[in-house]
């Protein structure tokens, strides 16, 4: 009976406060979703990257939830001042424990705002290269030419030397011919091959010319531009087409130089 009396006393004393607190928090959940949807719709009309829009919407929702949680605890009779102080102390400890994660987040925000690269561009840094397929708050994902994924933490990117190729790349090819070759004919054939290839860009114009007078060959450099997605395939196709056209025109390739050791 004593336990029931105490339970009844607590229910009468704190029951209404608990109901009010639960109602406030439930209203806060609905309010956070409503405000988040409004912010989402507003940000979609702005020229912001999807990761940044997602982050801002989440921050707004969390702020609304925290605000209503504090109000709900106050309605429940929980002292707010010690709670806020405790949260501050816990936040310092959590911040130290998650230092690496937070540095990734700050670096991710820096990348999103400064935009040193975008999705679809080809970049090279830290000894790796690939096409950018995703940029989020914590990391950047590249698609390597061998179709494997390269995940780079954002904190590793900020402050490093980054080579951004953009959406096009320059192919670097060379072909050796003997000295008796009619160079005007050889260069004309190469220009025809380059001009007829569907994936070679007209602008920027390809660079074609004699790059080296060696022994026993003259080296011709061929440097056309192509879209990042056609970079690998275009190299093989151009090499094959040039060899076939040179053979048809009876342009000779130099014999390999044999070295002997004593």
Is 43 contained in some domain?
yes
Is 143 contained in some domain?
yes
132-163 confidence digits (pLDDT tens): 998 887 889 999 888 899 999 988 888 888 99
Confidence of residue 47 (pLDDT cuts 50, 70, 90): low
Looking at per-residue confidence, does 118 or 262 come out higher? 118
Domain boundary among 133, 166, 199: 166
Q: Do 124 and 211 share a structural domain?
A: no
> Between vectors from CA 217 to CA 211 and to CA 223, what angle results, nearest 5°?
30
Q: Do 90 and 7 share a structural domain?
A: yes
Q: Do 15 and 76 share a structural domain?
A: yes
- pLDDT of 31 reads 82
Domain boundary among 68, 97, 126: 97
CB 112 within 8 A of CB 103: no
Name the strands in the sheet holding 207-213, side by side, starting at the edge strand that comes first in the sequence: 173-177, 218-223, 207-213
Looking at per-residue confidence, does 179 or 145 come out higher? 179
Share in percent of the chain as helix, strand, coil (round to 5): 55, 20, 25
Is 261 contained in some domain?
no
Task: Report the percent of the chain where pLDDT is more than 90.
Answer: 34
- pLDDT of 191 reads 95
Instruction: Domain of residue 160: give its range.
Output: 116-166
Q: Do 137 and 64 share a structural domain?
A: no
Confidence of residue 99 (pLDDT cuts 50, 70, 90): low
CATH assignment of the domain containing 123: 2.30.30.60
Task: Report the percent of the chain where pLDDT is more than 70.
Answer: 78
Indicate whether this model's pTM tops 0.85: no
9 contacts: CB under 8 Å, gap ≥ 6 = none
Q: DSSP string spanning 19-77?
A: HHHHHHHHHHHHHHHHHHHHHHHHHHTS---HHHHHHHHHHHHHHHHHHHHHHHHHHHT
Q: Choose the weakest-confidence range: 44-53, 65-74, 234-243.
A: 44-53
Is 42 contained in some domain?
yes
Q: Do 42 and 76 share a structural domain?
A: yes
CB burial of 122-158 (b: ≥16 within 10 Å; e: otherwise) equals bbebeeeebbbeebbbebbbbeeeeeeebebbbbebb
Q: Do 148 and 184 share a structural domain?
A: no
- The per-residue pLDDT of the chain, averaged, comes to 81
Six-digit token string for 19? 């109901």
Is 68 contained in some domain?
yes
d(CA 33, CA 9): 37
Collapsed DSSP state (helix, strand, coil) of residue 92? helix
224-235 confidence digits (pLDDT tens): 999 988 988 999
Is 88 contained in some domain?
yes
CATH assignment of the domain containing 8: 1.10.287.1260
**Count of the separate structural domains present in the chain:** 3
Q: Do 84 and 67 share a structural domain?
A: yes
**To which residue do tokens 């040179």 refer?**
246
CATH assignment of the domain containing 178: 3.30.70.100
């Amino acid at each position: 009976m004593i336990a029931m009396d105490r339970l009844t006393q607590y229910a009468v004393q704190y029951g209404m406060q608990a109901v009010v607190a639960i109602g406030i928090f439930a209203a806060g959940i609905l309010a956070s979703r409503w405000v988040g949807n409004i912010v989402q719709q507003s940000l979609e009309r702005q020229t912001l990257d999807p990761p940044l829009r997602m982050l801002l919407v989440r921050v707004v929702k969390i702020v609304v939830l925290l605000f209503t949680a504090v109000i709900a605890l106050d309605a429940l009779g929980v002292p707010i001042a010690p709670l806020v102080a405790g949260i501050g102390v816990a936040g310092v400890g959590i911040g130290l424990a998650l230092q690496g994660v937070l540095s990734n987040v700050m670096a991710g925000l820096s990348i999103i705002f400064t935009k040193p690269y975008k999705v679809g561009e080809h970049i090279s840094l830290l000894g790796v290269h690939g096409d950018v397929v995703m940029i989020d708050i914590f990391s950047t994902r590249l698609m390597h030419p061998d179709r494997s994924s390269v995940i780079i933490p954002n904190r590793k990117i900020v402050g490093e030397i980054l080579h951004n190729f953009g959406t096009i790349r320059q192919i670097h090819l060379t072909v050796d011919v003997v000295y008796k070759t009619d160079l005007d004919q050889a260069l004309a054939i190469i220009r025809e091959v380059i001009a007829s290839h569907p994936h070679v860009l007209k602008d920027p114009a390809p660079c074609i010319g004699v790059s080296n007078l060696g022994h026993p060959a003259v080296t011709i450099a061929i440097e056309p531009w192509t879209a990042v997605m056609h970079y690998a395939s275009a190299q093989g196709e151009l090499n094959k087409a040039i060899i076939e056209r040179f053979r048809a025109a009876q342009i000779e390739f130099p014999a390999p130089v044999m070295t002997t050791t004593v």
